[in-house]
Amino acid sequence: MQVITSKENEMIKSIKKLKDKKYRDEQNKFLVEGIKMVQEAINEKAKIDKIVVCEECINDGTIGQDLLYEIAKQDCIYTSKKVFESITEVASPQGILAVMQKENGEESISYDEDVIVVLDGIQDPGNLGTILRTIDSVNLKQVILSENTADPYNPKVVRSTMGAIYRVNMIRSKNIVETLKNMKKHKYDIVATSLQTDETIYDIDYKKKVIVIGNEANGVSKEVLELANKKVKIPMLRKNRKLERSSGNWNYIIRICKNVSLNKF
pLDDT at 106: 57
pTM, full prediction: 0.84
| Of the residues 101, 124, 142, the one at which a domain ends | 101
Which domain covers residue 196, as residue numbers? 115-264
| Of the residues 48, 68, 101, the one at which a domain ends | 101
The reply to whether 131 and 256 lie within a common domain is yes
Q: How many helices (H) and strands (E) are present in the chain, helices listed first?
A: 12, 11
Answer whether residue 108 is part of any domain: no
pLDDT at 57: 82
What's the CATH code of the domain at 222?
Answer: 3.40.1280.10
pLDDT at 211: 93
The reply to whether 65 and 130 lie within a common domain is no
pLDDT at 254: 55
The reply to whether 157 and 230 lie within a common domain is yes
Q: Of 137, 113, 143, whose CA–CA distance to 213 is shortest?
A: 143
The reply to whether 77 and 195 lie within a common domain is no
166-200 residue pLDDT tens: 999 999 999 999 999 999 999 999 999 888 888 88
The reply to whether 242 and 122 lie within a common domain is yes
Three-class SS of residue 51?
Answer: strand
What's the CATH code of the domain at 84?
Answer: 3.30.1330.30
Q: Which amino acid is at 138?
A: V
- Predicted confidence (pLDDT) at residue 209 exceeds the cutoff of 90: yes
Split into its structural domains, the chain has a count of 2
Alpha-carbon distance of 130 to 7, in angstroms, equals 33
Alpha carbons within 13 angstroms on the beta-carbon side of residue 153 total: 24
Contact in structure between 122 and 250 (CB atoms under 8 Å): yes
Answer whether residue 173 is part of any domain: yes
Alpha-carbon distance of 193 to 122, in angstroms, equals 13
Answer whether residue 39 is part of any domain: yes
pLDDT at 247: 39
The reply to whether 96 and 139 lie within a common domain is no
pLDDT at 252: 54
130-154 residue pLDDT tens: 999 999 998 899 999 999 999 999 9
Query: Angle formed by the axes of helices 125-137 and 251-264, to 10°?
Result: 0
Alpha helices in 102-166 (DSSP H): 125-137, 155-161
Determine how many CB atoms are found less than 10 A away from the CB of residue 131: 29
Alpha-carbon distance of 153 to 145, in angstroms, equals 12
User: Across residues 64-87, what is the average pLDDT?
Assistant: 92
pLDDT at 257: 60
The reply to whether 173 and 233 lie within a common domain is yes
The reply to whether 124 and 232 lie within a common domain is yes
